[in-house]
């Protein structure tokens, strides 16, 4: 049985990891940022302008083009998706799940939304 740290390392080996600054650059180049945080956290701390919200509980359904509830913004297996959670842990696992269903260009933000905010990047 793998420890949570081993599982996290394995998940991160399947995806890209971006600093908040690199994620901001990727967004400027057309990447889509997907905020997986709960509504309470988003309301309390803010959001990245232009981000789309899909909580972890439905992410795969929104990201799978064969799903009746897919979101065309993220249901393209070639789309460049950057996932963001609070601190950069659950987004790594979410990224792994998207790779497992067929996505080819998934990354997450190292340190999550809190690192983004601390870096002084735009928050609304």
pLDDT in tens, 7-61: 999 999 999 999 999 999 999 999 999 999 999 999 999 999 999 999 999 999 9
pLDDT of residue 101: 97
pLDDT in tens, 49-98: 999 999 999 999 999 999 999 999 999 999 999 999 999 999 999 999 99
Domains and CATH numbers, the chain: 4-118 (3.40.250.10)
pLDDT of residue 96: 98
Contact in structure between 76 and 30 (CB atoms under 8 Å): no
């Amino acid at each position: 049985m793998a420890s949570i740290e081993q599982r996290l390392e394995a998940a991160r080996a399947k995806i890209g990891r971006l600093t908040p600054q690199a994620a901001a650059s990727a967004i400027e180049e057309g990447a889509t940022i997907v905020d997986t945080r709960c509504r309470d956290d988003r309301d309390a701390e803010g959001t990245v302008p232009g981000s789309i919200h899909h909580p972890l509980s439905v992410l795969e359904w929104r990201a799978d083009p064969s799903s009746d509830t897919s979101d065309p913004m993220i249901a393209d297996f070639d789309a460049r998706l950057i996932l963001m959670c609070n601190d950069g842990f659950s987004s790594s696992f979410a990224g792994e799940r998207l790779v497992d269903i067929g996505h080819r260009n998934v990354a997450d933000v190292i340190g999550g939304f809190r690192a983004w905010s601390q870096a002084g990047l735009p928050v609304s």
